[in-house]
Structure 1
Amino acid sequence: MTAPTGSTGRFPARSAGRFPALDGVRALAAFGVLATHVGFNSGRSLDDGPLAPFLARLDFGVTLFFLLSGFVIFRPFVTAALGNTVAPATGRFLVRRLVRILPAYWLAVVVTLAVLTQHPPTPRSWLTYPLLLQTYTHGNVDPSLTQLWTLPVELSFYLLLPFAAAWIRRDPTADRSAVVRRTLLLIAGMCGIAVAANIAAHLVPAVGSRSLIWLPANLDWFALGMLLALISACAGRIPADRLPRLFGTGRTVAGATGLCWALAGLVFWFTTLPVAGSRLLVVPSGWEWSIKHYLYGGCAVLLLAPLTLAEPGRAAELLRARPVRYLGEISYGVYLWHLPLLLAFQHWLGFARSTGTSGRFWRSRRAAPPLLPRCPGDSWSGR
């Protein structure tokens, strides 16, 4: 790819704002979540196989989704602020987000509650799921829909973002360096809120661990994506000597794709260790949840940095391939439908589900008690 005019060094400003490899990352994220649900419902994540710990941690796909949202959705706002151009209109932005999410979501919820679920729906289910209130009203009890806890979080972020973006450009006369400083302050504030929410969830009984699947506890993941968007948007617009040293270091590391992805693999391996929590379906301690949460965030940054801050090399070509990008384009549908269909077919075929301690459903066709599938936050949903 040829560097556009205005680029500096080997890290061009992508004026078109297109990052085709990120569609491939969406595919990896969606099918990673699918794989971890298959692993836990079959018991494969809980056996002694060498791949079991990795299969158990593929809920990491949710982290990728949140960072991707932070990057892709925030980048047009920060690019407009740096270029002193008109930012996306708030009304149009929100309408486009809602149209992208809600019709497909409502269809999946209605079909699941009416046909696919083995958990008899209640009037409360018909009210809270369509309104995306299930995580706030303790109504996320249907095992076929527990993966949908992420959508209230996403929607909350969409509602927050236009106001945050308006704050970073509240002074039209400010220079670009002031915009960068204000954006960094915003990102730091979001991370601070996430840390406070984490502490409150584990130490304040009135808050409780259910709040870990609300937006405040996950703001840092979005903030990391926004940081990548800021660094990316600054390329070619602000001289390197007027930017924080972090930006130059980030671009340098991002240019070494192999190194970044090797470090990401190492960080992900740490998440498979007991220090990041048990692989069983039990509520992790505060330290375990925190360690896994922050390791997931670091791993996602290392994976995405070469694809967002540098020109993709050969290692990223597979993610940009048309078949992989197609899987990314349908990733939202995969995310919505994989769990209800998985549990429905498991029930219809008579395969027993894992008890959450060990075993494989291949060994028995005897029905097993309902089990909540594994995904960040699922261990607390419905309990």
Structure 2
Amino acid sequence: MAAAPRERSGRTTPPRPEGTTAVRRPTLGGPARGDVRLDIQVLRALAVGLVLLYHLWPDRLPGGFVGVDVFFVISGLLITSHLLRSAVSPGGVRLGRFWANRARRLLPLASVVLLATAAGTFAFLPESAWRPTLRNLMASALYVENWSLAASSVDYLARDQAPLATQHFWSLSVEEQFYLAWPVIVVLAAGWAVRRARGRHLSRAVVVRRGVMAVMVAIFALSLACSVWLTATDPGTAYFATTTRAWEFAAGGLLAMLPTAQPAAGRPVAVRTAGAVAGLAAIVASALVLSDATPFPGTAALLPVLGTAVFLWAGRVPGASRPAVAAALRPVRYLGDISYGVYLWHWPLVVIVPAALGGPLGTAAKVGVLAVTVMLAAASKVLVEDPFRYRPFWLAPVRRGFYPAAAGIAAVVLVCVTGLGALDRAAARAADLAAARPDQTLSTPTDPDAPLAPTLADRPFDNAGMYDCFDLEHLRARSCTYGPADAAVSVAITGDSHAAHLLPPLISLAERRGWRLTTYVGISCDAGLAPACADGPETFDTIVGADHDVVLFSAFRGSGSDYDDVRTYVTALHDAGVRLLPVADVPMNPPTTYACIDDSGGDAGEAARCTTPRDEALERVPDRVTRIADELGTGYLDLTDAFCDGERCRAVSGNTIVYQDSPSSHLTATFGRELVPLLEAGIDEALGTAAVTRG
């Protein structure tokens, strides 16, 4: 994943620092009030440096995403230490005050960044990015972005979607969920331990510590097991899920309760120095050795997590040779001090600046992004973070600490709801105007004064009916039937998503003609007998045994399925006596043409000029369907004339946008319905003969 957060099945995943700069209250065995733990400062600066380099120069630091693991461990240590001190005190853990403090610390700046991201999105990103960005801005404001990305990470339909400017909020969402749940867990564990210890002569501190440790050991073990299992079975979800990350916080929490968390003076300096060096080396090694190809988190996350824990265990090693000596350098300490702001600001810049500049970031632009990131973080600390964090007005009463966070969340949600509503109204207006025009056909000229349909914002989602009955996760075969069971004509279609995008016109046609239409489509089902097509052999037997009058087959010319597997499937259907109607794949829609539509700003006249040379659209990636049909002598239905003339292929037909995405080149449902006459003629001819060729 170049210059983007770590991807899993099309989705992305950058780390996020916890962001506090000093231990204002001591951790167990830590520095006195007002001191700064230099080892933690080093880790903060290191982690935020890793993530910055990874996002700007991913090839140089392929495992820089491990910064998230470093900060999760730090958060577990600091928060558990604070909660344990409160739990053993007479007043116990004050949940309201704890949550108010975290809200004041983190949420106001997060809301400012989200609002700025919304403004940058509308100003510079293409309209097709607006709807998903607004949805994820809302998820980020409500701190469920990690679950939103977990859902979309396995979304077959989102694989062509550009990185979102909000994706880095996934780890902030995980941390906020941690901050909500962890104090409750500590309170419940402490209460459980105290009740069990009644009548025994043990101090409250010992009882609470033992009870909390037992619960955290259980969380560590269960979460780590879940992480290992889910990383192997569902890696996209595993990367983002709170359940697969909880063990990293628990590792920091356990560190806070170990005897070695007490003052380090009793441990030999040589041992502590060796531990600090080993821990630092493990973190750096993980950033250099791990990559996007590494199943993560799973067992691979043990390297940065244990490295961080060992480094923190070593504590503040004295002497000029200590690894934490870098913290004596003012730039390092300052980077740790503003790390939260650096993290929040850098990723929206990485996503939005290339769109503003009109091209990928070069070295100079990347250095500029770094400089602007630091400046914004520095200003944010003075203007936003510190005022809400330290001014007495926000400290008492406790409820006042929630006001800035609530106002920020409300503002972001309001912007998103308003923006999404405006996009919905624009889409409805375009649909109404299109319906009011005379029926558009493939030969209808573009009306420059009429809107495009679908709108730019909605074209990635204009897939009505295509995936209602489609195996999106390689889990199980799905089949749907449209039309009466006793229809005189039974038509079926099989293949991958480029068969599925023919469903809107086929459903319309079947309803009009009274046909029965049955679908057998799914991921990798252009190779219907291969293991990647879920239940493929059973589906094959169903198709053969159903005695359909004609079975359409289509497949993406850029499919990742092996050609021999595709040919084997089609040949098996042919040899089983199935009357096949292969449908040639549509022309490719390259990213340049897709971007051209965005650059039109919705102007139909400008968009109509967005075309692709015919040889690039048809010959750069040769069509598999026509090749197989020629080898078998079945003939095929060729729809190319609906897209191309002798020299160029269109991305806009009349006022209709042809493609949803690029490079996957799925048709919009709106344009697909214009293919009804061609599909109808081809099927009618196939019903009367064993083979048909068009185009």
Common fold: TM-score over 0.5:
yes
Distance change (3 Å), C-alpha of 1:256 and 1:125: same
State how far apart, in whole Å, the 1-side matches of 2:173 and 2:269 are: 32
State how far apart, in whole Å, the 2-side matches of 1:129 and 1:346 are: 22
The residue aligned with 2:116 is 111
Deviation at 1:338, TM superposition (A): 0.6
Deviation at 1:126, TM superposition (A): 4.4
User: Per chain length, whose mean CA-contact separation is higher, i.e. which structure has more relative contact order (CA < 8 Å, sep 6+)?
Assistant: 1
Q: Does 1:267 align with 2:282?
A: yes
Deviation at 1:203, TM superposition (A): 5.6
Q: Does 1:324 align with 2:335?
A: no
Deviation at 1:66, TM superposition (A): 0.7
Residues 268, 295 of structure 1: 8 Å contact kept: yes
The residue aligned with 1:293 is 301
Deviation at 1:148, TM superposition (A): 1.4
Identical aligned pairs, as a percentage? 23
Residues 198, 290 of structure 1: 8 Å contact kept: yes
State how far apart, in whole Å, the 2-side matches of 1:327 and 1:151 are: 19
State how far apart, in whole Å, the 1-side matches of 2:300 and 2:349 are: 28
Which of 135, 138, 143 is residue 132 of structure 1 equivalent to?
143
Which of 339, 347, 355 is residue 339 of structure 1 equivalent to?
347
Which of 217, 222, 227 is residue 249 of structure 2 equivalent to?
222
Deviation at 1:312, TM superposition (A): 4.7
Distance change (3 Å), C-alpha of 1:71 and 1:18: farther
The residue aligned with 2:182 is 161
Deviations 1:49-105 (A, max 9, x none): xxx3xx1222222112111111111112213445x4434411011011122222211
Give the structure with the larger helix fraction: 1
The residue aligned with 1:380 is none
The residue aligned with 1:187 is 216
Deviation at 1:157, TM superposition (A): 0.5
Which of 114, 121, 125 is residue 130 of structure 2 equivalent to?
121
Q: Does 1:78 align with 2:84?
A: yes
Which of 255, 258, 276 is residue 231 of structure 1 equivalent to?
258
Over alpha carbons, which structure has the higher Rg? 2
Residues 24, 327 of structure 1: 8 Å contact kept: no
Q: Does 1:31 align with 2:58?
A: no
Residues 54, 63 of structure 2: 8 Å contact kept: yes
| Deviates most, 28-37 or 174-183 | 174-183
What residue identity is the alignment partner of 1:118?
Answer: L
Distance change (3 Å), C-alpha of 1:149 and 1:313: farther
Residues 12, 311 of structure 1: 8 Å contact kept: no
Q: Does 1:148 align with 2:199?
A: no
Residues 187, 227 of structure 1: 8 Å contact kept: yes
Deviation at 1:323, TM superposition (A): 4.0
What residue identity is the alignment partner of 2:120?
Answer: V
What residue identity is the alignment partner of 2:49?
Answer: F
Give the structure with the larger strand fraction: 2
- State the secondary structure of the residue aligned to 2:147: coil
Gaps of at least 5 residues in structure 1 are: 1-10, 46-51, 237-247, 355-360, 371-383
Residues 24, 320 of structure 1: 8 Å contact kept: no
What residue identity is the alignment partner of 1:154?
Answer: E
Superposition TM-score, scaled by structure 1 size: 0.70
Q: Does 1:213 align with 2:213?
A: no
The residue aligned with 2:402 is none
Deviations 1:133-163 (A, max 9, x none): 2332336874322221101100111011211
State how far apart, in whole Å, the 1-side matches of 2:286 and 2:71 are: 18
Deviation at 1:257, TM superposition (A): 3.9
| Deviates most, 187-196 or 262-271 | 262-271
Residues 145, 169 of structure 2: 8 Å contact kept: no
State how far apart, in whole Å, the 2-side matches of 1:79 and 1:85 are: 10
Distance change (3 Å), C-alpha of 1:312 and 1:183: farther
Distance change (3 Å), C-alpha of 1:254 and 1:203: farther
Deviation at 1:302, TM superposition (A): 2.1
State how far apart, in whole Å, the 2-side matches of 1:200 and 1:352 are: 37
State how far apart, in whole Å, the 2-side matches of 1:127 and 1:144 are: 12
Aligned length: 316
Q: Does 1:16 align with 2:33?
A: yes
Gaps of at least 5 residues in structure 2 are: 1-27, 154-160, 367-590, 596-695
The residue aligned with 2:486 is none
- Backbone CA RMSD of aligned residues: 3.7
What residue identity is the alignment partner of 1:34?
Answer: L
Deviation at 1:305, TM superposition (A): 1.9
State how far apart, in whole Å, the 2-side matches of 1:227 and 1:17 are: 24
State how far apart, in whole Å, the 2-side matches of 1:189 and 1:259 are: 30
What residue identity is the alignment partner of 1:20?
Answer: R
The residue aligned with 1:90 is 95
What residue identity is the alignment partner of 1:271?
Answer: S
The residue aligned with 1:358 is none
Distance change (3 Å), C-alpha of 1:163 and 1:251: farther
